Structure 1
Amino acid sequence: MSIRKNEYQIEVFEETFENDPVWTAEAQAPFQALHVGERFNPGALASGSWGSLADGQEFRIKDIDHIFYENTETVGHKLMVKLTAVDRTQEF
């Protein structure tokens, strides 16, 4: 049995998983753990197609889905993250 390489992907969505992701990335190492309710600051991720936040709003993680897949060469983990825009003072 040969060892397959690992593959990691992240896809970030606004409000629903039904639309195209606003940002995607691939990596050779796992992404840090994310949790529902945490703030998500796209910061310098200029490559994404981020919606505009109103003054006093921020993105929070609303849902997370993990998808695992494999083929003859790789074993993969896709992290799908759903964001929602909320008022900065809102408890989540």
Structure 2
Amino acid sequence: MTMEYTCNDCQKCAPFDVFKGTCEHSQQRILLDSPVNGCKTFVRKNQCKFCQNYCVKAGTEFVGQCHEKMVYPTMNACEKFQPLR
């Protein structure tokens, strides 16, 4: 599975609304959905969607399952987080 990361997937992204944020490294305004193509300071957030235990719930776009619980893909990861390789 190939995944394209966005600025919103980076630990250095500080969102201030649903569309925009600030890159804490460059101190520039960014669009959260901008691809990180070649960003040398990108550090992936530990979110549910990047965990081996997360799976997409059938018939839904914005909800998944982890250990029998419904979770959102962008939730901060729990203590059972196992990063994707």
Same fold (TM > 0.5): no
**What TM bracket, shorter-length normalisation?**
under 0.3
Bigger radius of gyration among the two: 1
The structure with the largest helix share of the pair is 2
Q: Which has the higher contact order (CA 8 A, sep 6+)?
A: 1
Larger relative strand fraction: 1
TM-score by length of 2: 0.24
